[in-house]
Each structure stands twice: as C-alpha cells, then as structure tokens.
C-alpha cells in the first residue's frame, strides 16, 4: 500500500532544500525532490501517491509551466512557487485550478508555501457543509473546496442540515447566498444553530453581493462569523475559509486544555462541576435517578515515598484509564491528587455497583503488572443528594467509610 507523500519540483538545489527543510518541520511523511519534468514524470510513473506538490513554474525542460499541467493531469493538488510575479500568469494558474500561487521572495514566503502544503494535506480530515436551496455558485464553491481537499457535503434544505447538526457538526458552514431565504428565515436559522453552537464552535460564512454588504454586516451581528463577496477571488476565499476554520480549531484546543487534567486527560474538577451541574439539574427536572462516585488510591503517599513520583504518576494514570474504560458512558474526572469522581444517570443500582467492583478488582489485580507498584483503590458510592455538591459530599462520606473499614472496598451510602 502506498503511503501519502509530498513532492517538491524545483531545479534550484538550495531552494529545494529550503522548501524540504520547512516542510519536514511539519510532517513525517516522505518528501520527494525532482529537478526537472523528466525526473518528475519518472517518479510519477512508479505509482507513488503524492498528496500535495510544491512546484516551480519554469524548469530547464519545461520553461512554460508544462510541469504544472502535468501534475494537474495526474490530479495532484499543486501549489505554484515562482521567482517572478506576473498577474496574468497568476490568474491563468488559478484557472487551471492550482491550489495556490506563491512568490518565493524570502523565508516568510517559503515558510508560508510549506505550511499551506501541509494544511491542504490535513484538509481531507476537515468537513465543510454548504447550504444551497437556490444554487447561485454552488458548483464553483464545490470545485474550489475540493481543490483544497476539504470533505464537502451539500444540503438543499435547512431542516435536513439542522437534523445532521445534532450528530456531528462540520468544521465550517457556508451559505451559498442569503438571497435564497425569504423574510427572516435566515435569522431564524442562524439563531437555531447558535442555540446549539457558538461562533467559536461552529463558524458560519455567508455569500453576499456588493449591494448587500449592510445586510451581511447585520448577519454578522446575529451570529454569522464572516462573509465573502459574490465576485470573490480564489485567494481571498481560501484565506477566509482557512482563517475561520483555524480560529475555531484553536478555540476548541484551548477549551479542551482548560477542561482537562494534563496528566490523565480526564476532565478536571472545574469542568466536572460545570458539566455535572447541567446534567444533574436535567436529571432532577426529568425525575430520573443518578449516582455519584468518589474513588481514592489507598496509601498513595507510600507509593510516592518508596517508589518515587514517576511511579505515583503511573499509578494515577492507570486508575484514570481504568475508570474511563469501565465508566465510558459517564462523566469521569480527576478530582485532585489521587482522587477521582464519576457521575451520571442510572436506572439500575446493581449495574453501577458491579462497575465499581470491576474497577476495584482491576486495580487490585493489575496494578503491579501495569505500573510495577502494588496498590488498591477505595470507592464511595451514593444515589442521593439535592444538589451535585451534596451528592459528592455523600459519596465522599461513603469513601471515608471504606477507608475506615479497611480500604480496598466499595461502600454505598444511600
């Protein structure tokens, strides 16, 4: 099976090495170098799978962009890197459907070319949905987005789109044109989406003609992130799309860091109470049953003192992994130090108690094998409490009882 690879077609050895060096900082995939059309054709004849290519326009045996046309004929996403800027040539390249046109006039542009190549490679894992009930330029949008390797889905009505949003939202949502909506439908649609996803979680771009710029600005006040003009250029469109997706992904990354424990990857205490209170109040309103668990590694200080903090971290990580596997359908958090907390909905107390016992037995049986440290786990469980905080206190009291009665056991407090 062929592995994904990158290709650099450049006859200047120093420039080729520089492009490769910048690209190598971003990917472990193989990077091929060719210095002529002939060597490029020879490489492609082997059936190697090239995902993205950075290619000079003018080669010794292809002085008029023949290499670019050959690459596109092979359906290889191509970024043109050239030493001379010519607006007419740039426009002709975009008509050929190149992914970008970069002037190699310094290290910044070389770095940009390499970063763009890698970003386009990653775009195959990014999804964009287009809502187009009355297509105005849908074919153009589809073509341009696929040149940059995005996974694109087309929706012809908003109910279908809203239904799919419940399951797995895209990285970006595009409205082909808001002129397709009547009355205030577009505002209602944006409001419905924003009730589920904020602007950082799901960016929206809308297409507007120059005569409706004020309308586009109004849409942005109501929750649309950005707009693009009906007479947009390829470069402007790609930049706007990339910026909106990148900003949303960066936000999600920062949000994830703020919600999780660095060592275990479980939710941290702060996010546990934020998400847990929402769930707790929902269950209470629906008159459903819940459970809360507090778990603590027995004699953890002894593990740290005798075997070192590295083994202590391994013990915490092992317990965290065990809890996250056994309670995969519930809210699991590292509460602090060697303490953990779990909560969720239940209709069967016996099932939850069985899961608790499974965790306890797994730690007792496998701790030494997995961490080279022998330790056990005490667990406190409750099904009562008027608030989440009171439920946690109840579970903590049950945990205290488990510790007082010999440790390495599950204690239930109703």
Mean pLDDT for the stretch of residues 261-272 = 95
Q: Other C-beta atoms within 10 Å of 76: how many?
A: 17
Q: What is the mean pLDDT of the chain?
A: 92
Alpha-carbon distance of 41 to 12, in angstroms, equals 18
Alpha-carbon distance of 33 to 23, in angstroms, equals 12
Q: Please tell me if the domain spanning 5-121 has the same topology as the one spanning 126-258.
A: yes
- Provide the 8-state DSSP code for 328: T
Residue 218's nearest CA partner among 195, 173, 186 is 186
Percent over 70 (pLDDT), the chain: 97
Predicted TM-score of the model (pTM): 0.76
Tell me, what's the pLDDT at 1?
A: 42
Alpha-carbon distance of 271 to 333, in angstroms, equals 8
Strand partners, 267: 260, 333
Q: Which CATH class is domain 269-413?
A: alpha beta
Q: Other C-beta atoms within 10 Å of 342: how many?
A: 28
Q: Other C-beta atoms within 10 Å of 65: how many?
A: 20
Percent over 90 (pLDDT), the chain: 80
Mean pLDDT for the stretch of residues 243-250 = 93
Residue 333 has pLDDT above 90, yes or no: yes
Alpha-carbon distance of 105 to 242, in angstroms, equals 23
Tell me, what's the pLDDT at 135?
A: 66
Tell the CATH superfamily of the 126-258 domain: Response regulator (3.40.50.2300)
Strand, coil or helix: 191: helix
Mean pLDDT for the stretch of residues 157-176 = 92
Residue 220 has pLDDT above 60, yes or no: yes
132 — pLDDT class (breaks 50, 70, 90) = confident
Domain boundaries, the chain: 5-121, 126-258, 269-413
What pLDDT digit, counting tens, does each position of 355-403 carry? Answer: 999 999 999 999 999 999 999 999 999 999 999 999 999 999 999 999 9
Strand partners, 410: 379
What pLDDT digit, counting tens, does each position of 29-67 carry? Answer: 999 999 999 999 999 999 999 999 999 999 999 999 999
Helices (H), 260-348: 269-285, 300-307, 309-326
Alpha-carbon distance of 331 to 245, in angstroms, equals 28
Tell me, what's the pLDDT at 285?
A: 93
**Would you list the DSSP string of 33-52?**
EESSHHHHHHHHTTT--EEE
Tell me, what's the pLDDT at 117?
A: 97
Q: Longest Cα pair distance anywhere in the chain, in angstroms?
A: 84
Q: Which CATH class is domain 5-121?
A: alpha beta
Alpha-carbon distance of 5 to 27, in angstroms, equals 10
The alpha carbon of residue 358 and the mean position of all alpha carbons in its chain are separated, in whole angstroms, by: 32
Strand, coil or helix: 199: coil
What pLDDT digit, counting tens, does each position of 178-216 carry? Answer: 766 666 788 889 999 999 999 999 999 988 776 677 777
Q: How does strand 172-175 pair with strand 127-131?
A: parallel
Tell me, what's the pLDDT at 318?
A: 97
Tell me, what's the pLDDT at 222?
A: 87
């Amino acid at each position: 099976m062929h592995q994904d690879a990158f290709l650099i077609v450049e006859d200047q050895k120093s420039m080729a090495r520089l492009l490769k060096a910048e690209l190598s900082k971003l990917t472990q995939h193989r990077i091929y170098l060719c210095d002529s059309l002939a060597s490029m054709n020879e490489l492609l004849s082997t059936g190697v799978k090239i995902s993205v290519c950075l290619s000079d326009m003018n080669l010794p045996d292809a002085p008029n962009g023949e290499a670019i046309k050959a690459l596109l004929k092979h359906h290889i996403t191509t970024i043109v890197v050239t030493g001379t800027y010519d607006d007419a040539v740039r426009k002709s390249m975009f008509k050929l459907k190149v992914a970008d046109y970069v002037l190699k006039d310094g290290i910044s542009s070389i770095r940009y070319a390499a970063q763009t190549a890698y970003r386009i490679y990653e775009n195959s894992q990014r999804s964009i949905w287009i809502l187009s009930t009355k297509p105005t330029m849908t074919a153009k949008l589809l073509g341009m987005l696929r040149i940059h390797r995005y996974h694109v889905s087309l929706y012809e009505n908003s109910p279908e789109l809203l239904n799919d949003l419940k399951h797995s939202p895209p990285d970006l949502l595009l409205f082909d044109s808001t002129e397709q909506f009547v009355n205030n439908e577009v505002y209602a649609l944006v409001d419905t989406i924003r009730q589920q996803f904020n602007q950082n979680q799901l960016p929206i771009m809308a297409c507007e003609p120059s005569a409706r710029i004020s309308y586009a600005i109004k849409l942005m006040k109501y929750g649309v992130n950005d707009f693009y003009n009906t007479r947009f250029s390829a470069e402007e469109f790609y930049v706007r799309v990339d910026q909106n997706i990148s900003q949303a992904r960066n936000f999600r990354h920062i949000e994830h860091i703020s919600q999780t424990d660095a060592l275990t990857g479980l939710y941290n205490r702060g996010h546990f109470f934020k998400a847990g209170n929402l769930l707790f109040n929902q269950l209470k309103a629906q008159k459903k049953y819940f459970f809360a668990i507090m778990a603590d590694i027995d004699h953890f200080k002894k593990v740290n003192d005798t075997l070192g903090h590295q083994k202590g971290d391994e013990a915490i990580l092992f317990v965290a992994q065990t809890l996250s596997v056994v309670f995969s359908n519930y809210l699991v958090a590292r509460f602090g130090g060697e303490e953990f907390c779990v909560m969720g909905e239940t209709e069967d107390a016996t099932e939850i108690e069985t899961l608790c016992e499974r965790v306890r037995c797994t730690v007792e049986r496998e701790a030494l094998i997995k961490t080279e440290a022998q330790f056990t786990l005490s667990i406190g469980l409750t099904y009562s409490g008027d608030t989440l905080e009171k439920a946690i206190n109840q579970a903590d009291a049950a945990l205290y009882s488990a510790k007082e009665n010999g440790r390495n056991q599950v204690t239930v407090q109703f």
